[in-house]
Structure 1
């Protein structure tokens, strides 16, 4: 389950990574592998770890090579926006869940602030991998305000 996040400065990304950290045990217990991807400089990585408690693997892709390859293969279209401090652009938030055989869930933001709940994404992905029906028929997008509440109040 690799979420793409903007950077340590993004409060919504901070809340998202806190949520991801809380799901890590469940994901790895199911045989999953958790990592994050960012176009932010590696020198900033410690800040997001301190803020969120996320201690998993992170791919630092300042050239957005992964986003380009995923788009080229038709897997997911991770948006890349211009942003000061990101010489090759800033990858926008995205979520990709899959097995070796198939993509189970994918979502990519088209520059906005709303995004799906990782808990609900994981519950549906886990059900699908077990051959069960989805737990959630729809995965609502969390608003910016909901994201701030998660960041502030957990």
Structure 2
């Protein structure tokens, strides 16, 4: 069911973990999102082993969550936030600016792709959000490669410098 309080749910997950690896996606219908979440599914065991919690976040109706899970093999935490309350709160906190676009079927707008890796103490390890444009198909493509993001997060967790200064995109 849709998260009754997505902000509280996010904060609770963060408090229970060394860090949270949050990925916003558009919907089950988006092939670029499915690819991104499939990569998150393969990285999830390493994230969990490092003390983190992967979580996917969407403004899409909850009835599509099972389709998303089936298409991507992602079986971790999910926050369904059709009103985009979490996206707005994370922006207000200065952590990540998730673009919200008008789209049929999304009464309060569609959250565009974004990611936020946040430690329990509030330290931001990674923050990225798409700026929808014609060049990236309205926010569909040009996302950072999650395996490279994970390599940077892993390095920072061990007190080292980032491995990648820029990311490959898909």
TM-score (norm 1): 0.90
**Cα deviation, residue 133, structure 1:** 1.8
Q: Which runs of 5+ in 2 are unaligned?
A: 1-20, 133-138
Q: Deviations over 1:77-118 (max 9, x none)?
A: 000000000000000000101212200000000113210000
Runs (4+) off by over 3 Å: none
Q: Deviations over 1:49-69 (max 9, x none)?
A: 111111111100000000110
1:131 lines up with 2:159 in the alignment: yes
Q: After the TM superposition, which residues 77-88 of structure 1 pair with which residues of structure 2 at under 5 Å, given as runs? A: 77-88=97-108
Aligned equivalents of 1:65, 1:137: Cα separation in 2: 31
Count of aligned residue pairs for this structure pair: 142
1:114 lines up with 2:135 in the alignment: no
Counterpart in the other structure of 2:8: none
**Cα deviation, residue 2, structure 1:** 0.8
Q: Which runs of 5+ in 1 are unaligned?
A: 143-154
Report the RMSD for the aligned CA atoms in angstroms. Answer: 0.8
**Cα deviation, residue 140, structure 1:** 2.6
